[in-house]
Amino acid sequence: MAIKVGDQIPAMDLTTMTADGPAPLATADYFAGRKVAIFSVPGAFTPTCSAKHLPGFVEQANDLKAKGIDEIACFSVNDVFVMHAWGESASASGKVTMLADGNAAFAKALGLDADFSGFGMGIRSQRFSMIVDNGVVSHLNVEEPGAFNVSSAEYMLGQL
């Protein structure tokens, strides 16, 4: 069953790149006491994700923060090295935190995983965005397969 508005984010670890290398990031700590805009893409460096999704949140970071968002995060079923390189290539540093879900554990725990085996990509995450307020989902925007509408930064700005 997929996560829904009003649900608590599952307690588990994602991975992020730090100055000292890869480090686990506990979701319970990460989402506690603040409002986080998080979005998920099927894959780093893939066409829509690289041309529209991540750049939109990078471009709209200041506007989202002006409307009460404390942090913006992108997660994908990729390893932390790929997520870090993708963030650097998109000038996301200081605007969007890149989080790796290398084994799709978080996507599965959210019930928002998708089988992209037909494209040679294995289990990934569906494309979506959500606002998490103190660990609880307050807004959830899940795209239809192949679409890019309701998970964009612009759509989220309209919800705030």
**C-alpha to C-alpha distances, 62 to 71, 78, 92, 114, 135, nearest whole angstrom:** 10, 26, 12, 31, 22
Work out whether the CA dihedral 40, 97, 54, 15 comes out positive or negative.
negative
- pLDDT value of position 14: 95
Q: Which pLDDT value is given to residue 46?
A: 73
Q: At 125, is the secondary structure helix, strand, or coil?
A: strand
Q: What's the mean pLDDT in 135-160?
A: 93
Give mean pLDDT, residues 131-159.
94
Residue 74 is a catalytic residue:
no
pLDDT digits (tens, 9 = 90+) for 121-143: 768 788 899 999 999 999 999 99
pLDDT at 45: 80
**3-state class of 15 per DSSP?**
strand
Q: Which of 25, 38, 41, 49 is catalytic?
A: 49
* Structural domains of the chain, with CATH: 13-159 (3.40.30.10)
- pLDDT tens string 46-97: 767 666 789 899 999 999 999 999 999 999 999 999 999 989 999 999 999 9
Range in 9-13, 23-27, 49-53, 81-85 the model is least confident about: 49-53
In Å, how far are 26, 61, 90, 140 from 113, measured between CA atoms? 20, 26, 24, 15
- What pLDDT was estimated at residue 52? 78
Query: Chain-wide mean pLDDT for the chain?
Result: 91
Rounded Cα–Cα distance for residues 61 and 58 (Å)? 5
**Quick one: CA torsion of 7, 129, 139, 154, rounded to 10 degrees?**
170
